[in-house]
Structure 1
């Protein structure tokens, strides 16, 4: 039986494969964007290394592609909606818009802020 984590990693891997196929960049260029060595991109593409959340956001913003969405929850379960995530992410970016570069959040700090805002705005959606 496949668990939820394996299913999520498979969705992320399919997303990454599609981004690498359609971005028009060499793997070495994508490696540079992610501040990693080219063999790391090959491991990501092969599925032997997992893509981190901050790397996914960097690729999403660099190539203007949406991140993978979650599969619909079975009836009676709870999960965050994509709209709630987008609202929270926009709030974080709007808060940072006028800050000098040395005061901007790291990608990890930004994600923490997004999830904090999501919990504050509405938590899990039915």
Structure 2
């Protein structure tokens, strides 16, 4: 997998500065256990990830809000769109368009072959 765009990594001490409103599912690439590295200055997560660039395959894909086929639908991504891969569990991938989202889950078959 190729590395995604170079993001500004946090410098100094990253810490809580007060309450933060939790974003709606399917928006920012943020879960309790994992978040996009570009969000480290603003949101607390157990781990941060530098994403890997991938592309959607030959067909549009609807992101799922959870790793289930019957989960609510999120954003629709056009065929060939560049995405950032954040996590994998079985044949499910957690992806985002960028640090501002949208984010969601899709199955391995929705991705273009890794180059």
Category of TM-score, reference length = shorter chain:
under 0.3
Question: TM (normalized to structure 1)?
Answer: 0.24
Question: TM (normalized to structure 2)?
Answer: 0.26
User: Higher strand proportion, which one?
Assistant: 2
Flag the structure with more relative contact order, 1 or 2, with Cα contacts below 8 A and sequence separation at least 6.
Answer: 2
User: Higher helix proportion, which one?
Assistant: 1
Q: Which has the larger radius of gyration?
A: 1
